[in-house]
Amino acid sequence: MRPLRLDMAGFTVFRDETTVDFTDADYFALVGPTGSGKSTVLDAICFALYGTVPRWGGTRGIGNALAPSATEARVRLVFESAGARYVATRVVRRDGRGNVKTAGAGLQLMPPGFDVTRLDTGMSLEDLGDVLAGTPAEMDEAVVSAVGLPYEQFTSCVVLPQGQFADFLHAKPATRQQILVNLLGLHVYEEVQTRASARASKAENQLQIVDQNLDALADASDEAVEQAADRLAAMRELTAAVEQAVPRLREVRDKETELAAARDAIAQELAALSGVRTPSGSAQVAQAAAAARTGAEAASAAVRSAEEREEKVRGELAAAGDAGSLGLMLDRHIEFDRLTGQAEWFQGEVSVAEVEYKDAVSAAELAQHAHLGAEQLLEQARLDYSEAQTVDRAIALRAHLTAGHDCPVCAQPVTTVPAMPEGSAVQAAERQGKAARAAADVAAKAWKQRDAVARELERGLDRKRAQFEHHKSRLAEVKAALADSPGQDALKAQLAELTRLQRKLDDAGAEVRTAREAQRRAQRAVAVAEDQQRTAWRSFDTVRDAVARFGPPPADRDDLAGAWTALVGWAQESARQRETARAEAAAAVETAAGQTRQARAEVLTLFTDAGLDAPSGNADADLIRAAAVAAERAEGAWQRLHERQQQAQAYAEQRADLVRTHRVAKSLSGHLRANNFERWLLEEALDLLVSGASRILRELTGEQYELMHDKGEFYVIDQHDAGLRRGVRTLSGGETFQASLALALALSEQLAGMSTTAASLESIVLDEGFGTLDSGTLDVVAATLENLAARGDRMVGVVTHVHALAERVPVRFEVHKDARTAHVERVGL
């Protein structure tokens, strides 16, 4: 795996959008002060791929990914593995309740030739190629498949966390053994042993179940299956025999049914002929109809006579005059008398109203004159008040006059100062003015009241005059209308005659209505009688139609009683003839019934001979169905035994497989339970690891040092000192770094070789505290890294704040931090 580009925003100290471009950085250093965010760049690479960071204590506390007070963190890594380019993206957000969750995760395979420098820093999940994973769960498997290493092996081979670089070199044998178990995944054999033991137990339990099932199928033997097959063949023979015998049975039964039908037909004819009887009251029905028709004719004649009398009275009434005109003329006589009596009263009312109106007008004129006088007195009071004001002002000036001096108003010498009068002229004038105002108000009110009374009386006089004129006009109209009147007495006599004729007409109308009601009753009686007669004939026709197929004699439609007598006589004679035919038909039916019973008994014998109970049904289909059911049951019994036999064979085969599985699983569990197998694997792994590390160490030290192990302890062989063997704890800082780096590289190669996926170890990044090394050791470390980078088989990166080391690295990513966020700046090639 080789990183190409890293984009971050809101991730721990990188609050703002930050991009680190590794495209052509084969050997680089992340430099900067302590705490500036150098290791955070490596954390972002691990987080983008695996969703966690070594410094988070091995937990997946994604809340650590958010920058302080940030609500969202985005990380996108573009990397190359085995010649293919991928982009991994993770987004986490904090919701309103403070919970931090993964909002997006994805892995995409980029198309060939895609220029990563064209990517912006938005870090959205837009389509950058084929989607390999779209959820955190899918990311776990997809990243391991693309990178070739799980998280634990990735942090031991590609990104080596700070402080753990030389742990493996200086560890105790037991600790180193456990590290190898964890890194190389040797604990999988313990899991294999556990699963083998579980599989052996499961197979043993399944064997018990299979044995129980075999015991339950013990009845499905070959002999039982053969007996069931014989029984099936017998039932099929029975079915064939029954199907052969049933047609003969059906033939004799059909003959019996045919004879019985003929017998029943004769019996039905006898029953129909026996039911022909004359109903009671047939003769009275015709007599009642004739009497009803006679009554109806008499009622019709009475109606005609009453209508003629009513029409005669109606003519007399029309000749006597119009009662409405006579009544109207009489009402006008009465109105004329009333209007003549009221004329003098209306004239008196008008005269009284004229007098009252004149008196009111005189009183209003007097009140008006009094009002005008009061207004003149009020105007005089206003003038007096003005003069009093002038007098009071002049008196007020007297207080400023002095005898012998000039008057301030007229500028004339004052000889004598007049005496000051008692009281104020204005006050006296005000009292007179108030009295005049009150008198004027009273006079005005009296004048308005009398004027209103006069006007009201004038309107009343006008109304009474109009009423009197209207009364005289109506009296003239009524008098003119009575010019041709014969007089009240003559009118009253004519009205009396009209009243008498009207009563006579009413009586004639009542007589007509009574005659019509009698006619309707007679007609209803005719209808009832005729309906009864029709009902009687329908009854006759019904009875005759029931026996019409036997050829009854024709009926006289004018004589209902005679028709019944002829029909009943014929029916009795025909019934005597059919009595003999019915007896002969009954004997033939009995003979056919015997033949049917014999044929059925022969069929039932087939069932009893086959060991079956005789069917209870009487229908021919019941016999065939019973035989078919017996054959189906026999076939079902044979089929069930056959299936159970096959099940027993299947269980037997399954039991053999389970026995083999149990033996293999139990044997494998026993072998893996011993510690020798794991110890042998660890020794083999350690031999391979030391051999590879020794080869790398020789390359790094110019063939000076080799690495070996003895009883779990690491030693170095110094070829420049006659092959002296030294313990690793005696090495200097630079030598320790070289040995640890050789082990790290060999360990990464071993993990890649033992990985189940195609791991591509194309880079290694060391996050180690180089500041503790002296200048000589630091020079060795720098040379070692340069030699490693010069090999050209992988990208080499270091994380350091030591300038002496950083200056020797061709590409540097300087990391610095301000009060808000951290920044990354590339320096060098």
Mean pLDDT, the chain, integer: 77
Q: What are phi and psi of 185, to 5 degrees?
A: 70, 30
Report, as an integer, the average pLDDT of 381-388: 79
3-state DSSP of 507-554: HHHHHHHHHHHHHHHHHHHHHHHHHHHHHHHHHHHHHHHHCHHHCCCC
Residue 119: which residues within 8 A CB-CB, separation 6 or more? 5, 7, 76, 78, 128
β-bridge partners, 706: 717
Among 697, 700, 725, 722, residue whose Cα is nearest residue 710: 725
Among 626, 570, 692, 631, residue whose Cα is nearest residue 272: 570
Q: Which one-letter DSSP state was computed for residue 117?
A: G
pLDDT of residue 616: 67
Q: What are phi and psi of 360, to 5 degrees?
A: -65, -35
Reported residue count of the chain is 829
Neighbours of 412 (CB within 10 A): 8
β-bridge partners, 28: 797, 811
- Give the pairing of strands 763-767 and 159-160: parallel
Q: Which one-letter DSSP state was computed for residue 62?
A: G
pLDDT of residue 30: 92
Task: Please tell me which residue, 814 or 351, carries the higher pLDDT value.
Answer: 814
pLDDT confidence bin for 90, thresholds 50/70/90: very high
Among 521, 518, 541, residue whose Cα is nearest residue 529: 521
What Å distances lie between residue 727 and 272, 486, 692, 813, CA to CA? Answer: 136, 173, 19, 37
Report, as an integer, the average pLDDT of 661-690: 74
Helix, strand, coil percentages (3-state) for the chain, rounded to 5, are: 65, 10, 20
**Confidence check: pLDDT of 12 > 70:** yes
pLDDT tens digits, residue range 262-278?
777 777 777 777 777 77
Neighbours of 765 (CB within 10 A): 19
Q: Which one-letter DSSP state was computed for residue 103?
A: E
pLDDT tens digits, residue range 304-314?
888 888 788 77
* Low-confidence winner among 36-40, 284-288, 463-467 (lowest mean pLDDT): 284-288
pLDDT tens digits, residue range 485-541?
667 677 677 777 778 777 877 888 888 888 888 888 888 887 887 787 777 777 877
CB 38 within 8 A of CB 812: no
Report, as an integer, the average pLDDT of 141-153: 82
pLDDT confidence bin for 126, thresholds 50/70/90: low
pLDDT of residue 175: 67
Q: What are phi and psi of 317, to 5 degrees?
A: -65, -35
pLDDT of residue 757: 46
What Å distances lie between residue 668 and 199, 676, 704, CA to CA? Answer: 10, 14, 46
Report, as an integer, the average pLDDT of 388-416: 77
Q: Which position has the token pair 């076939």?
A: 635
Which of the given ranges, 118-127, 291-300, 580-589, 674-683, has the highest pLDDT on average?
A: 291-300
What Å distances lie between residue 455 and 164, 359, 449, 450, 524, CA to CA? Answer: 130, 12, 10, 9, 83
pLDDT confidence bin for 756, thresholds 50/70/90: very low
The Cα 293–Cα 312 span in angstroms is 30
Task: Please tell me which residue, 798 or 127, carries the higher pLDDT value.
Answer: 798
The Cα 75–Cα 65 span in angstroms is 10
The Cα 448–Cα 410 span in angstroms is 51
pLDDT of residue 377: 82
Task: Please tell me which residue, 238 or 456, carries the higher pLDDT value.
Answer: 456
Instruction: List the 2-9 sheet strands across, edge first.
Output: 18-21, 2-9, 72-81, 84-94, 100-109, 130-133
β-bridge partners, 6: 20, 77
**Confidence check: pLDDT of 124 > 60:** no
The Cα 627–Cα 622 span in angstroms is 9
Q: Which position has the token pair 């009243």?
A: 499
pLDDT of residue 92: 92
CB 671 within 8 A of CB 209: no
Which of the given ranges, 233-242, 394-403, 655-664, has the highest pLDDT on average?
A: 655-664
Query: ∠ CA 49-50-51 to the nearest 5 degrees?
Result: 105
Which of the given ranges, 470-484, 757-771, 808-822, has the highest pLDDT on average?
A: 808-822
pLDDT confidence bin for 177, thresholds 50/70/90: low
**Confidence check: pLDDT of 691 > 80:** yes
β-bridge partners, 7: 19, 76
Among 99, 93, 49, residue whose Cα is nearest residue 74: 93
Report, as an integer, the average pLDDT of 190-200: 78
Task: Please tell me which residue, 674 or 554, carries the higher pLDDT value.
Answer: 554
Report, as an integer, the average pLDDT of 96-120: 80
β-bridge partners, 492: none
Task: Please tell me which residue, 789 or 177, carries the higher pLDDT value.
Answer: 789
Tell me, rounded to whole angstroms, the distance of Cα 755 from its chain centroid.
53
Residue 207: which residues within 8 A CB-CB, separation 6 or more? 655, 658, 659, 662
Report, as an integer, the average pLDDT of 548-563: 77
Q: Which position has the token pair 């290791």?
A: 39
Q: Which one-letter DSSP state was computed for residue 613?
A: P
pLDDT of residue 45: 92
**Confidence check: pLDDT of 755 > 50:** no
pLDDT of residue 112: 81
3-state DSSP of 267-320: HHHHHHHHCCCCCCCHHHHHHHHHHHHHHHHHHHHHHHHHHHHHHHHHHHHHHC
Report, as an integer, the average pLDDT of 114-142: 73
pLDDT confidence bin for 125, thresholds 50/70/90: very low
As given in the structure block, the two tokens for residue 740 are 């640890």
Residue 617: which residues within 8 A CB-CB, separation 6 or more? 623, 625, 626
At 714, the amino acid letter reads: F
CB 252 within 8 A of CB 258: no
What is the pTM assigned to this prediction?
0.43
Helix (H, G, I), strand (E, B) or coil at 696: helix
CB 1 within 8 A of CB 748: no
The Cα 337–Cα 323 span in angstroms is 22
* Low-confidence winner among 387-396, 407-416, 517-526, 623-632 (lowest mean pLDDT): 623-632
Among 642, 647, 645, 641, residue whose Cα is nearest residue 210: 647
The Cα 686–Cα 155 span in angstroms is 19
pLDDT of residue 161: 56
pLDDT tens digits, residue range 57-85?
654 578 888 887 788 999 999 999 878 89
The Cα 308–Cα 320 span in angstroms is 19
Task: Please tell me which residue, 496 or 36, carries the higher pLDDT value.
Answer: 36
pLDDT of residue 459: 84
Helix (H, G, I), strand (E, B) or coil at 828: strand
3-state DSSP of 11-40: ECCECCCEEEECCCCCEEEEECCCCCCHHH
> How many CA atoms lie within 13 Å of 109's alpha carbon, on the beta-carbon side?
13
At 667, the amino acid letter reads: S
Q: For the chain, how big is the Rg over CA atoms in Å?
A: 72
CB 14 within 8 A of CB 787: no
What Å distances lie between residue 541 and 26, 57, 544, CA to CA? Answer: 125, 115, 5
* Low-confidence winner among 136-145, 159-168, 312-321, 646-655 (lowest mean pLDDT): 159-168
pLDDT tens digits, residue range 404-435?
788 877 878 878 877 777 667 767 777 877 88
The Cα 470–Cα 484 span in angstroms is 24
At 37, the amino acid letter reads: G
Task: Report the first-to-last Cα separation within the chain, whole angstroms.
Answer: 22
Task: Please tell me which residue, 122 or 260, carries the higher pLDDT value.
Answer: 260
pLDDT of residue 123: 45
Task: Please tell me which residue, 383 or 244, carries the higher pLDDT value.
Answer: 383
